[in-house]
């Protein structure tokens, strides 16, 4: 399993980068990324505002080498975050 605690890069960016660039997939769903917070951020509990808070963090956070995109994945019939 990858270690995502070593630097200041947010967990969600590391997960997206790994899933897209190392596992050759298109992206991760918002519910998956919200659920992952409880695994990597001690004391986090998801609530009704968790997706909104995640999107705000992404939109207002630092810039990275890749832009985060939101797109519809027909294979799983859900919206996924990707990197462009």
Structure tokens at 6: 């070593």
Q: What is the CATH number of the domain that holds 79?
A: 1.10.10
And the tokens for 64?
A: 């990275």
What is the total count of domains within the chain? Answer: 1
For residue 4, being part of any structural domain is answered with no
* Dihedral, CA of residue 71, residue 73, residue 36 and residue 7, to nearest 10: -50
Q: For the segment 28-83, what is each residue's pLDDT rounded down to a tens digit?
A: 999 999 999 888 888 888 999 999 999 999 999 888 888 999 999 999 999 999 99
Nearest to 10 by CA among 46, 72, 54: 54
Residue 5 included in any domain: no
Q: Is residue 3 part of a domain?
A: no
Residue 76 domain-assigned?
yes
pTM comes to: 0.82
Domain that holds residue 41: 11-83
Contact 84, 21 (CB under 8 A): no
């Amino acid at each position: 399993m990858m270690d995502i605690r070593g630097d200041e890069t947010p967990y969600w960016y590391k997960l997206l980068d790994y899933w897209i660039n190392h596992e050759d997939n298109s992206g991760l769903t918002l519910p998956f990324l919200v659920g992952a917070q409880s695994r990597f951020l001690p004391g986090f509990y998801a609530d009704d505002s968790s997706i909104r808070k995640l999107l705000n963090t992404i939109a207002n956070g630092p810039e990275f080498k890749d832009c985060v995109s939101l797109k519809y994945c027909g294979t799983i019939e859900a919206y996924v975050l990707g990197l462009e």
